[in-house]
Amino acid sequence: MTEIVYLLLDGFYVAFQPLNLALIVLGCAAGLFIGAMPGLGSVNGVAILLPLTYLVPPTGAIIFLAALYYGAMYGGAISSVMLGIPGASTAVATTFDGRPLAKMGMADKALTAAAVASFAGGTISVILFTMAAPPLAHIALVFGDPEEFALMMLAFATFIGLGGDDIAKTIFSICIGLVLAAVGFDTVSGEPRLVFFDITNFMDGVKFLVLAIGIYGIGEMLWTIEENTRAGGASQLSKATVSLKRTIANLRELVRSWKTMVMGSVLGYVVGILPAAGATPGSLMAYGIGKQISKDPDSFGKGNVEGVIAPEAANNAASTGSMLPMLTLGIPGSPTTAILLGGMVLWGLEPGPRLFSDEPSFVWGLIASLYVANFFAVVLNIAFIPAFIWVLKLPFTLLAPIIFVLCLVGGYAPTQSMYDVWLMLLFGIVGYLMRKLDYPLAPAVLAIVLGPLAERALRQSLLISGGELSIFVDPVNRPYAAFIMYAALVLLFLPLFMMIRRRLTSGKAASTEPS
C-alpha cells in the first residue's frame, strides 16, 4: 500500500508538470464542449482528436485524451438537462429526471447535481482503480499467450452475451474488425495477405485510427444529421437561472444524497470494467437501483435530483473502470479505451501488464492525472455552466462541417496518405448504413485494435500445444486460461440459454392457459 502511495505521488509529479497540467485543463474543456454537443460523446472526441496528439509526448497525449474522456462524461449531462437530448448515449438516463427538473425551472440544480455526482463517481472510482490496478497487473504478469487469447475471447464474448444487440450482427462486427486487422502482411511468413483488388496500399494494412475516425467521426456525424432531420428541430432549450447563491444552496442539498452517489459510483465502476457493458448500461442500472433505494421512488421520472445523481456518478465511474483492463491487461473496457489503446500502440508503447514495470511514469502519471482531471472538470463545469449552455445554442450547421474537416485532415495526418482518407470515408458511409440497420459497431473497433494481438496469441498458443485447442481449457496446466475461457464460453452461450429458457417459460404458460 505504501508503495502505491509513493508511486501515486510520483504520478502527481508527472501530472503537475506545466505541460501536462495545461493538457488536463484543455482536455477537460474540450471534453465538456464535445460532451455537451447532442449526439457526440467521448468516443467521438477521442477518435477525432487523437491525430492531434502527435504534438506532445505519449504521456501528455494520453493525459489529454483521458481528461477529454472525463470531460465528455460531465458534458453529456448538459444537453440531457437543457435540451432533453442526451449529449451521448451514456447520458440517456440523465434525461429521465434532468429534463423534468429543467422544465420546472431547476435546470441549475440538475446541472450542479450532475457535476457533483460526476466528481464523486470519478473520484471514488479512481481510488478503487488505484488500489485494484497494481495487484491485477501483477497477476497478469504471469499470463502467456493462451491466457492473453482467452482474455480477448472474454472481451468479445461480453459483447455477444451482454451487448443486447442482434447476435449474428454482433459476431459479424467482431469478425470483420479482426479480418480488417489482418490486412497487410502475415507476420509469421512475411507474405502479403488480403491485398484487395491488388491495390498495393493495402499492404500497409488498415489502421485502427482510420476505422475509428470513419465510424465515430464521419459515420456518427451522418447519423447525427439524420437524427436532427428526423427531430425537425423540435427540441427546445430550457432556461437556466445560475447564481452563486443558488449554486451554494444546491450543493448543500446534494450532501443528503451521498448514498446514491456512492452506489452509482461503485456500480458504474464494476460495470465499466466489462468491455461490452460500460457507461450506458452502468448508468441505466444505477438509475434503476437509485429508484429502488430512494425514499421517494414515485417522484423518479418527474424531477427527482437523485435520478440525475445515480446515472451521472455511474457513467463517470464506468469511464475509469473501463481503463482498468486497458492498463493492466491490454484489453479495452469500452470503445473509447479501445481507441486510447490503439493510440498507445501508435505512440510506441506496448499495452499490457508490463506497462506498470516498464513505463511507470506513463502509467502513474495517467492515474494521477485522473484525480486532477476530475477536479478541473467539476470546477470548469460548474463555473462555466452558462458557457456550455451557449454551446447548445450554436447551430449544428456551423459545428458539423468543422468536425468533418477535422476528420478528413485527422485521418490524413498520421500517414499522409490519401488512401487512408478514402478508406476512412468508406468506413464512415458503410458504418452509417450499418448503424441504420442496428449493426453494433463498437465490437469492430475493439476487434481491429485487438486483432493483431489475438492472432499472434492464438498462433503461438497452438504452436505450444502442437495444434491442440485444449490448451485454452486445461485447468491443470493453464488454470487462468481455462477459467477465463470457461467464463467466455458461458457468456457466449448466455443468449442461447436465455432463449431456451424463454421458450420453455412461454411454452409452460401456453400449456397452463385455460382453453
Residues at the contact surface with another protein, assessed by CB under 8 A: 52, 54-55, 166, 168-169, 171-172, 175-176, 178-179, 182, 186, 188-189, 191, 193-196, 218, 221-223, 225-226, 228-230, 232, 395, 397-398, 400-402, 404-405, 408-409, 412-413, 416, 418, 421-422, 425, 429, 432-434, 436-439, 455, 458-460, 462-463, 467
Nearer Cβ to another protein (318/447): 447
Q: What is the DSSP string of 319-333?
A: HHHTHHHHHHTS--S
Nearer Cβ to another protein (108/145): 145
Q: What is the DSSP letter of 299?
A: G
Dig out the grid coordinates for 510 from the structure: 401456453
**In the chain, helix, strand, coil percent, each to 5?**
80, 0, 20
Nearer Cβ to another protein (227/253): 227
Nearest distance, CB of residue 367 and another protein, angstroms = 28
The Cα–Cα gap between 302 and 27 comes to: 34
Nearest distance, CB of residue 461 and another protein, angstroms = 9
Distance of CA 506 to the CA centre of its chain: 36
Distance of CA 235 to the CA centre of its chain: 27
Determine the residue type at 291. K
Nearest distance, CB of residue 55 and another protein, angstroms = 6
The Cα–Cα gap between 488 and 196 comes to: 33
Nearer Cβ to another protein (108/455): 455
Dig out the grid coordinates for 42 from the structure: 467521448
Nearest distance, CB of residue 475 and another protein, angstroms = 24
Nearest distance, CB of residue 43 and another protein, angstroms = 20
Nearest distance, CB of residue 424 and another protein, angstroms = 9
Among residues 83, 127, 111, which one has the least CA distance to residue 320? 127
Element (H, E) at 185: strand 184-185
Among residues 373, 409, 454, which one has the least CA distance to residue 155? 454
Torsion from C-alpha of 9, 12, 14, 18, nearest 10 degrees: -140
Burial class of residue 127, CB neighbours in 10 A (0-12, 13-18, 19+): middle
Nearest distance, CB of residue 426 and another protein, angstroms = 9
Nearer Cβ to another protein (220/312): 220
Nearest distance, CB of residue 192 and another protein, angstroms = 9
Cell 461480453 identifies what position? 158
Nearer Cβ to another protein (246/435): 435
**Residue positions counted in the chain:** 515
The Cα–Cα gap between 268 and 91 comes to: 13
Nearer Cβ to another protein (98/343): 343
Nearer Cβ to another protein (383/463): 463
Nearest distance, CB of residue 400 and another protein, angstroms = 7
Nearest distance, CB of residue 309 and another protein, angstroms = 33
The Cα–Cα gap between 462 and 178 comes to: 18
Nearer Cβ to another protein (360/414): 414
Nearer Cβ to another protein (185/483): 185
Burial class of residue 325, CB neighbours in 10 A (0-12, 13-18, 19+): buried
Element (H, E) at 192: strand 192-193
